[in-house]
Chains A and B, each alone.
Chain A
Amino acid sequence: MWQYRELIKNLTIAELKNRYQNTTLGFFWSILSPLLLALVLYFVFRNLFRQEENFAINLLVGIMAWRFFVTGTTLSLMTIVGKPSLVTKVYVPRQILVLSTVLSNLIGSLLEFLILVPIIYVLLGSLPITILLFPVIHIIYFWLIFGVGLFLSALYVYFRDLNQIWDVLINILFFLSPIIYPLSIVPESLKTYYLLNPLTAVIIIYRDVMVNGSLPSLSNLAVIICLGAAIFLIGSFTFHMLQRRFAEAI
């Protein structure tokens, strides 16, 4: 992979340029749309969860974390099929195509989270020191998304309705994760299963380090590290096995 670093960099930059340069507001749209979504959700749900502490900021953190997953996975799903000439006309390790898509999303996501910092400062009056752990968490989360991306992009070559299926799954996952509602409303009896959702663990960890100023719990860390590693390995392995026939199947 190392000898292809130049290509990874160029593809990532090309992707960012393509995404942002043709819109009038460019990068601001990617900030504006989650903020507007958060605003809408805030007004809809604020009465319901009035007693929750920091509801607004928790909502924002949840949405930003969620967006990284959604855009990262849905865009990587299209990568291999969407760049046929790089698969059928020339040889580059195909993982690079997915990697550069997820990397460009990582950069977008980092900028979005950066916008959150002053907002947190204004709403809380101070910044928790644990926010310094953010990069570590984000990198683990990145590998998880990269793993899902590899898995989806490889399967999409053979099953072209996977994008529709994934859209539905994404929607289910949204309501299975504590984004618009607090974890406290989940029934005790279901909580163990609920916490196995890696997105739940990721969102709780982000809130711990960015809002509550506490260290993430070991069990949540274990969930994202173990599941992240497992998902990445499964994704890479699936991709590796399926990529041999990519050039014929596209």
Chain B
Amino acid sequence: MNAVVVDNVSKKFRLPHEKKTTLFQNIVGLVKRQFDYEVFWALRDVSFEIETGETFGIIGRNGSGKTTLLKTLAKVLYPDAGSVRMNGKVACFLELGVGFQPELTAKDNVYLYSSILGMSRREVNQKYDEIFDFAELRKFESMKLKNFSSGMYLRLAFSTAIHAKPDTLLIDEVFAVGDEAFQKKCIDKINEFREQGKTIVFVSHALEDVKRLCQRSLLLDYGRIVSIGNTQKVVDDYLTMLKGE
């Protein structure tokens, strides 16, 4: 069975010449008959499938539509055409610590973040010790999050997120943060997920990481798939494309 099926997905953004954000501006715009925005296609006719258990990379230049594609997979963005089907529980790491509230304690935030990631209270109770041990923040569980350093914040967020046990992970370069030791911990954890047969979709500029982790990849440019298949071949295509300019 396929974990991800993307069928002819297109996504357009409206780029207004002058952004109208108030009702007043909109009424003025209507009266003057100005509907001045440009349509920008961030994704065009993108179709591909990812098998369960595969680690799949998405590469491309800045602005090529990588993050848009990932957000469409995560259902954060709604495709203007085509469809996306995801099987199983999906966790997206577009950003770590989504929904963290500075005024609440670390403990409260772990419960809140876990429920955002789709865990039940019972599951969190079972993994509660593991989460704090992995993050090495045992002593700080009843401290308010606003008093955390950014490193502690990230460790807590990452630790909570990886204990959510999803079937499919969507990862958008969140690991480009933290110190060497933390990054190594993250990569180890991803490898562990791969061994457990989870599906991982990985967006990155770090070609070495992509080559090391992903069996198959796709290369996006101007919202279209330029190349898809074996990672080594796709990365070579990407390098040729960059050189050709």
Contacts and interface: CB of A to CB of B under 8 A. Distances in A.
Contacts of B104: 14, 17-18
A158 B117 CA distance: 27
Contacts of A90: 74, 76, 92, 94-95, 98-99, 116-117
A248 B120 contact: no
Contact of B115 (A7, A21, A88, A244): A7
B111 interface: yes
A89 B23 contact: no
Interface string B1-39: 000000000000110000001111010000000000000
A16 B111 CA distance: 15
Interface of A: 3-4, 6-7, 9-11, 13-14, 17-18, 21-22, 83, 85-92, 158-162, 165, 244-245, 247-248
B189 interface: no
Contacts of A165: 23
Contacts of B120: 6
A158 B75 CA distance: 20
Interface residues of B, number: 31
Contact of A7 (B22, B75, B78, B116): B116
A83 B98 CA distance: 10
Interface in B168-184: none
Contacts of A10: 111-112, 115
Contacts of A22: 103
A86 B99 contact: yes
A6 B75 CA distance: 20
B85 interface: no
B108 interface: yes
Contact of B103 (A11, A17, A245): A17
B101 A18 contact: yes
B24 A85 contact: no
Contacts of B101: 14, 18
A206 to B, nearest CB: 33
Contact of A160 (B21, B92, B103): B21
Contacts of B112: 10-11, 14
Contact of A159 (B21, B74, B78, B115): B21
Contacts of A4: 115
B71 interface: yes
B89 to A, nearest CB: 10
29 contacts: A3-B118, A4-B115, A6-B115, A6-B119, A6-B121, A10-B112, A11-B115, A14-B108, A14-B112, A17-B108, A18-B104, A83-B99, A85-B95, A86-B98, A86-B116, A87-B76, A88-B71, A88-B94, A90-B98, A90-B99, A92-B116, A158-B21, A159-B22, A159-B26, A165-B23, A247-B71, A247-B77, A248-B13, A248-B77
Contacts of B75: 91
B223 to A, nearest CB: 15
Given A6-B120, A17-B104, A248-B13, A159 B23 contact: yes
Contact of A161 (B23, B78, B115): B23
A245 B77 CA distance: 7
A10 B48 CA distance: 37
A86 B108 CA distance: 17
Contacts of B14: 248
A64 to B, nearest CB: 27
A245 B78 contact: yes
A91 B103 CA distance: 23
